[in-house]
Structure 1
Amino acid sequence: MTMVHHSNGDELSEAQNARPLGRLATLSYGAGHMLNDITSACWFTYLLLFLTDIGLTPRDAATVMLSGQVADAFTTIFVGELIDQFGHFKLWHAGGSLLVAVSFSSVFGSCLPCKVMGSDSLTLQTIGYSTFAAIFNVGWAVTQVSHMSMVNCMTLNPTSRVSLASCRNAFSMVANLSLYAVALCVFSVYSKHVDIKIQYRWIAYLSIFLGCCFVVLFLLGTKEPQLKMQSHYKKSSSISWAHWFKKILYYQVALVYMLTRLVTNVSQALLASYVTMELGMGHSSKALVPAIIYICSFLVSVILQEMRWSGWRLKAFFTAGAILWIFSGAGVFILPGRMHNLMYILSIAIGIANALMTVTGISMESMLVGDDLNGSGFVYGSLSFLDKLSCGIALYALESYQGTPDVRVGLDSGISYSVTRYGLGVLPATCALLSAIITCTMKLPESRSRTLVEPLLA
């Protein structure tokens, strides 16, 4: 009788955990990554421009970004393991957010070691900015891994897990749009004669304040996941790394996620330079083109939350997004400056493709973890390691060759095939193609599940 009682209790608990999440739980979770997203948008959009504007060479600026990406990459591995051992997602999230808030303004501030040493040498500036970039990215990694690995521990419902990823991506689009609104206000208030460090410092301050408001909403509105604690009653120790390394699906999902992040991050970092330098568009295009991309991504992310999800649908939607990016990348590569208005149409396609690939790519991570909750931290951490390291190396390589005289070739068509064109057109399209091929080889587990209790569009 006792065994039957425990069995019924386990079945009841599992049934409760498999229930779809409600609207408030989904929205409060999505708000938790706003601080990371808005600072990340500033990092990828303005860091290289800021550093070169204050006098650093493109290679030195790329070194600063690479130092942050490397620190982020290695931190994710250790944080993922610690979260698997000790849990307490919200505590890790709060600590990481605090470190991000304290350190981010220094990334776009003055060089502290330069003031201490009384020197403004390029080497010392590179070291100073690289140090704060590394500190910022450590906090960013702690927040990201704790937030992403919560998904599997909040619910066992596959559709709700995709909805959480989709809502997170929707808030990411809101964060990016918020950054451009903040930047537009700051650049409008301050004239061009004002020290550029002051302008970017105010962008950093306002971004931190806005992001922290959403972090508070997340901490107040999201409960500490209980599935992690329940799994410890069933398995007292965390899952070893070897468990994942024996799975072919782990390598497939890792490659797809890494390639997806290369597509989104590299394109974001080079977009401002492309529209102004390559297409000859006005300075307002640096805000308008990204805004169109993020608005389209936001709308698609919201729509994706209303769908019922299974393994084959994830593969189908991801492949559709990848194919759309391939055509968009080709368009970006061959688009002549005299037809620059077509960039607005390409922006719509890129925004849709980004949302399709990002939401389904993150959801593949969740499907890989499944019910192995004691290993979720390692999975999200190790995949983020590949993401950060690959993006850092790719941007360093592209920026190192930026501006060299032998990479620009004038053709009869009037198109100059520069590093920026290759980086924004060819590289993302190639990554999208490879990721689509890998996705078609996956064998994702099939599951039938109900939709959200309260659809966001209801």
Structure 2
Amino acid sequence: MTGGSEEDPFTKPIGRWSVFFYGVGHMLNDITASCWFTYLLLFLTQIGLSPRDAAIVMLSGQVADAFATIFTGELIDRFGHFKIWHAAGSLLVAISFSSVFGGCLPCSILHNDSITLETFSYSMFAAIFNIGWAATQVSHMAMVNCISLNSTSRVALTSSRNAFTMVANLGLYAIALVVFGVIKAGSKEDTETQYRWIAYSSITIGCCFVVIFLMGTKEPRLRIDLKQTSRARIPWVYWFRKLLYYQVAMVYLLTRLVLNVSQAYLAFFVIDDLQMDQSAKALVPAIIYICSFVVSVLLQEIPWNGRRLKAYYTAGGIIWIFCGAAILLLPRDISSFMYAISVFIGIANALMMVTAISMQSVLVGAEVGGCAFVCGSLSFLDKMSCGLALYVLQSHQTTSPRGQLNNNNQQSVYLSVTRYGLGLVPALCSFVGVAVTFFMELEAAGSLSKPLLREPLLE
């Protein structure tokens, strides 16, 4: 017999503690990525780099991240050892991140403050940081498919990870709120001090959770315990022959564009376009992630199937379309309405991210020999597209006359590049993502022994 639950324990729901220990494993990546996308462009322009130079730094990191995900995914599929890759990547992230936000180290050594050297220095450390980040991300995401064959438990693991992503983001914005309140940025040195404290605090908190993850999570044995045909390494070309691979890749790419581009321009928007208080660049993102955290926790209690994945993703996409339209039309004199919009953005982000990542698990099914490649290749598309999108938008930032935004009330809804980045781009990506999702065939996808089980999420 081959279908009994005793003979195939990987189809059984996993326990809450296993979900918890897995969920905290991406906290270091999440808290540093939140700082990266929310404050990097703002930080670099505040210390004197042009918008185009700041975009070059961002792009260098994204390109390094993109290629690192491909190579890391291939190596993990060949040799396994998820936890070793995770630990090594986390160590590299911790060492390099402080150099991204800690000021220009080569400038201090060479006593040279040229813009060219600063741009080169920040680009180099951004690339190193993102290589470590990619190793941690791919190993952590691929583990989902090797921990359990139960689709509902896979969504539970993904939802837990997403919930702790929100915790990491909230932690960052709490740190930022305190730092921005205590240290006033009156000079370039003060600005560097602000972000240095944010970076050090983020690394300390993230590393604590990495230790919890490594101690509480066992190396997945599913790859070893499955039949030989299921655990054999799957060649790349196998995935390229599947229509669902391209559909899931498109949905994941568009979802990451929604989250990353909107996050990158959120601080610019509330400060420059809406001219809200400085605290708003921490409070508005915090509201978004509080709402995302609540929704992510609630999603853990839902029995999942393909139809529900599509329905919840569609709901999140539609909410983002309305939020994007509201941002494009929001005048400065009612800027406080941004707090209400943030609630719906947080809900939409959680719905889209949890379901988009869960679609990867449906695509992989029991074919775990290629799970790291799937995660790595999709992340490659994500990093390249986000880097190029931000580079194009930021390169046109110099042509936006933000100083002329509100000489009178009639000019209070000027459509700046920042507004396009926060409103139009996410709305369009959400629309296309919903359209692609509509044509997916998730019910028949994957090769799980019990696909898309309707059992309770957790024991």
Q: If the length of structure 1 is used for normalisation, what is the TM-score?
A: 0.94
Measure, in 1, the Cα distance between the counterparts of 2:112 and 2:360: 47
The residue type paired with residue 429 of structure 1 is: A
Pair 1:290 & 2:288 matched: no
Measure, in 2, the Cα distance between the counterparts of 1:382 and 1:148: 12
List aligned pairs for 1:172-183, cutoff 5 A.
Answer: 172-183=165-176
CA contact (8 A) 2:76 2:139 kept: yes
Superimposed CA distance per residue, residues 335-367 of structure 1 (whole angstroms, 9 cap, x where no aligned partner): 111111211111111000000000000000111
Pair 1:450 & 2:433 matched: no
List aligned pairs for 1:20-419, cutoff 5 A.
Answer: 20-193=13-186, 195-231=190-226, 233-234=228-229, 237-405=232-400, 412=410, 414-419=412-417
CA contact (8 A) 1:148 1:380 kept: yes
**Unpaired runs of 5+ in structure 1?**
1-6
The residue type paired with residue 295 of structure 2 is: V
CA contact (8 A) 1:298 1:355 kept: yes
The alpha carbon displacement at 1:121 in A equals: 1.1
Measure, in 1, the Cα distance between the counterparts of 2:66 and 2:129: 12
Measure, in 1, the Cα distance between the counterparts of 2:7 and 2:345: 40
The residue type paired with residue 348 of structure 1 is: V
Q: How many residues are aligned here? A: 447
Measure, in 2, the Cα distance between the counterparts of 1:169 and 1:27: 11
Measure, in 1, the Cα distance between the counterparts of 2:401 and 2:276: 24
Change over 3 Å in CA distance of 1:392–1:232 after alignment to 2: farther
Q: Secondary structure at the match of 1:110?
A: coil
CA contact (8 A) 1:231 1:373 kept: no
Measure, in 2, the Cα distance between the counterparts of 1:393 and 1:17: 40
The alpha carbon displacement at 1:315 in A equals: 0.2
CA contact (8 A) 2:152 2:303 kept: yes
Q: Secondary structure at the match of 2:397?
A: coil
CA contact (8 A) 2:14 2:153 kept: yes
Which is further off, 164-173 or 276-285?
Answer: 276-285
Which is further off, 189-198 or 357-366?
Answer: 189-198
Change over 3 Å in CA distance of 1:127–1:360 after alignment to 2: same
CA contact (8 A) 1:260 1:431 kept: yes
Measure, in 2, the Cα distance between the counterparts of 1:232 and 1:60: 52
Which is further off, 439-448 or 84-93?
Answer: 439-448
CA contact (8 A) 1:173 1:297 kept: yes
The alpha carbon displacement at 1:11 in A equals: 4.9
Measure, in 1, the Cα distance between the counterparts of 2:423 and 2:7: 47
- 2:8 corresponds to which of 15, 23, 27: 15
Measure, in 2, the Cα distance between the counterparts of 1:405 and 1:278: 11
Q: Secondary structure at the match of 1:191?
A: coil
Q: Secondary structure at the match of 1:283?
A: coil
The residue type paired with residue 169 of structure 1 is: N
CA contact (8 A) 1:231 1:374 kept: no
CA contact (8 A) 1:157 1:449 kept: no
CA contact (8 A) 1:186 1:203 kept: yes
Change over 3 Å in CA distance of 1:123–1:166 after alignment to 2: same
CA contact (8 A) 2:317 2:431 kept: yes
Measure, in 2, the Cα distance between the counterparts of 1:232 and 1:277: 58
The alpha carbon displacement at 1:405 in A equals: 4.6
The alpha carbon displacement at 1:173 in A equals: 0.5
CA contact (8 A) 2:150 2:453 kept: no
Measure, in 2, the Cα distance between the counterparts of 1:157 and 1:406: 53
The alpha carbon displacement at 1:409 in A equals: 8.1
The alpha carbon displacement at 1:321 in A equals: 0.3
Q: Secondary structure at the match of 1:149?
A: helix
CA contact (8 A) 1:72 1:388 kept: yes
Identity over aligned pairs, percent = 61
Superimposed CA distance per residue, residues 305-345 of structure 1 (whole angstroms, 9 cap, x where no aligned partner): 00000001000000000000000000000111111121111
**Unpaired runs of 5+ in structure 2?**
445-451
The residue type paired with residue 195 of structure 1 is: D
Measure, in 1, the Cα distance between the counterparts of 2:368 and 2:277: 50
The alpha carbon displacement at 1:196 in A equals: 1.8
The alpha carbon displacement at 1:14 in A equals: 5.3
CA contact (8 A) 1:72 1:140 kept: yes
The alpha carbon displacement at 1:52 in A equals: 1.1
Q: Secondary structure at the match of 2:112?
A: coil
The equivalent residue for 1:3 is none
The alpha carbon displacement at 1:274 in A equals: 0.6
Superimposed CA distance per residue, residues 90-139 of structure 1 (whole angstroms, 9 cap, x where no aligned partner): 11101100100011000011222223433211111111110000000000
CA contact (8 A) 1:69 1:392 kept: yes
Which is further off, 392-401 or 426-435?
Answer: 392-401
Q: Secondary structure at the match of 2:314?
A: helix
Measure, in 2, the Cα distance between the counterparts of 1:275 and 1:191: 18
Measure, in 2, the Cα distance between the counterparts of 1:367 and 1:415: 43
The residue type paired with residue 395 of structure 1 is: L
CA contact (8 A) 2:309 2:355 kept: yes
Superimposed CA distance per residue, residues 270-293 of structure 1 (whole angstroms, 9 cap, x where no aligned partner): 001111211121111111111111
Which is further off, 176-185 or 240-249?
Answer: 176-185
Which is further off, 322-331 or 397-406?
Answer: 397-406
Q: Secondary structure at the match of 2:116?
A: helix
The residue type paired with residue 362 of structure 2 is: M
Measure, in 1, the Cα distance between the counterparts of 2:19 and 2:68: 27
The residue type paired with residue 416 of structure 1 is: Y
Measure, in 1, the Cα distance between the counterparts of 2:327 and 2:184: 32
Q: Secondary structure at the match of 2:8?
A: helix
CA contact (8 A) 2:177 2:279 kept: no
The residue type paired with residue 310 of structure 2 is: K
Superimposed CA distance per residue, residues 175-223 of structure 1 (whole angstroms, 9 cap, x where no aligned partner): 0010011112222332334622122111111100000111111111111
Superimposed CA distance per residue, residues 12-51 of structure 1 (whole angstroms, 9 cap, x where no aligned partner): 5653111101110001100000000000001011111111
